[in-house]
Amino acid sequence: MPNMPLAERMRPKNLDEYIGQQHLVGEGAVLRNMINTGRIQSIILWGPPGVGKTTLARIIANSGNRAMYTLSAVTSGVKDVRDVLDKAKHAAFFNPQTPVLFIDEIHRFNKSQQDSLLGAVEQGIVILIGATTENPSFEVIAPLLSRCEVYVLQPLEKQDLENLLNRALTLDSVLKEMDIKVEETAALFRQSGGDARKLLNILEIVINAQTSEHIVINDENVAKCLQKTTAMYDKKGDMHYDIISAFIKSIRGGDPNAAVYWLARMLAGGEDLKFIARRLVILASEDIGLANPNAMLIANACFQAVSTIGYPESRIILSETVIYLANSPKSNSAYNAINAAMELVGKTGDLPVPMNIRNAPTKLMQQLGYGADYKYSHDYPGHFVQQEFMPDELSGTSFYIPGNNTAELRAKEVMQQHWGEKYSYNA
């Protein structure tokens, strides 16, 4: 169907056509195994737009010849949910395979709408597949979240975008008949932002904009077309992730003026106030951290305030917080420390807890040496005494490297006084 948009014509029908998300659908990965075995469970797919959430849901449903019901959380209410569940119950008499209920933008369902799903998911009337661009920890009620596995989808990488482009040019029924020469892809890939749908939309716009039989894809042609079609990408919030990225990077980079500008852009576009406030809480810990611990208190207070005070007053609270965070000293030492520790845990596994710091609630455990030689810090001068708290194999491993700011330099001095040369503070 040549009139069908390219993105829809190229929508994958099976995992062999699916591009990206190899951590989920590659050989031996969890979702591929789920599909291959037919043991499908309720899941929530979390990721930015255009990374294959809806397509993956369809592939899962089609793999087992299951009936698939689709609802959009934007337009559906509790009655729509109940109607679909009734259809699913009746369909069970004709098809033994449990049907799939796919809910797009499930984060937009309110509590009562999500509550209406609980019984059906718990009783196995439907397999729920929810798609969301928002953190389900915040937007999906705990009882429903506990009944689903959450899988995170990532923006497509450069190699994925190259594969997608080549597939469209060689396999699409319309494009493969055209004389298309790809000279450059940098602008095309950059503007797509890891979004497969956006890449195919831009590609189609660039092709349709050229009147010659010999079509050229290069950075200049992409830039010319996008100057004319920028508004098209704003209608459904495709600029959402670009603007929040600019916003966060402006604060991280210490530019309060740019940060307030991007804040204003989001407010003017009707962005969810709590989404903005949540990102400020994350930034306060990730990018400011121990350089100014008060930043977390300010950001959390901002989140609480905008949760109870509506627009337009909330804009002032957000502006105050944004300016404060932008002007704060920055440190990502806590962020780096937990990432390094988790990476090492993944490599070393469950190393035993040293005997001296094990709990010893029973006499047998005491006899076995649990808690032996433990030194109670408060019994020593300065409430500190050196002893080993790490597994023997990791003794002396440093995860936390203090940042070069006033607060952490003081912390570094204390650590050096306590531990001497045991840990490296300047790695």
Residue-wise pLDDT tens digits, 188-203? 998 888 889 999 999 9
CA–CA dist 156, 162 (Å, integer) = 10
23-40 confidence digits (pLDDT tens): 999 999 999 999 888 888
33-85 confidence digits (pLDDT tens): 998 888 889 999 998 888 999 999 999 888 877 888 888 887 887 888 888 88
pLDDT score recorded for residue 1: 55
Helix H, strand E, coil C: the string for 240-292 is HHHHHHHHHHHHHCCCHHHHHHHHHHHHHCCCCHHHHHHHHHHHHHHHHHHHC
Residues 80/67, Cβ–Cβ less than 8 Å: no
Length of the chain: 427
Residue 220, pLDDT > 60, answer yes
Residue 112, pLDDT > 90, answer no
272-331 confidence digits (pLDDT tens): 899 999 999 999 999 999 999 999 999 999 999 999 988 889 999 999 999 999 999 999
Average pLDDT, the chain: 87
Burial class (CB in 10 A: 0-12, 13-18, 19+), 287: buried
Residues 6+ apart with CB under 8 A from 364: none
Confidence band of 426 (pLDDT split at 50, 70, 90): low
Tokens of 209: 């904009």
152-177 confidence digits (pLDDT tens): 998 899 999 999 999 999 999 899 88
Residues 6+ apart with CB under 8 A from 41: 34, 127, 148, 149
Residue 229, pLDDT > 70, answer no
Tell me the domains of the chain and their CATH numbers: 21-152 (3.40.50.300), 158-233 (1.10.8.60), 240-327 (1.20.272.10), 346-419 (1.10.3710)
pLDDT score recorded for residue 231: 36
H-state helical runs in 70-216 = 78-91, 111-123, 136-139, 142-145, 158-171, 186-192, 196-208
Question: What percentage of the chain exceeds 90 in pLDDT?
Answer: 42
pLDDT score recorded for residue 85: 87
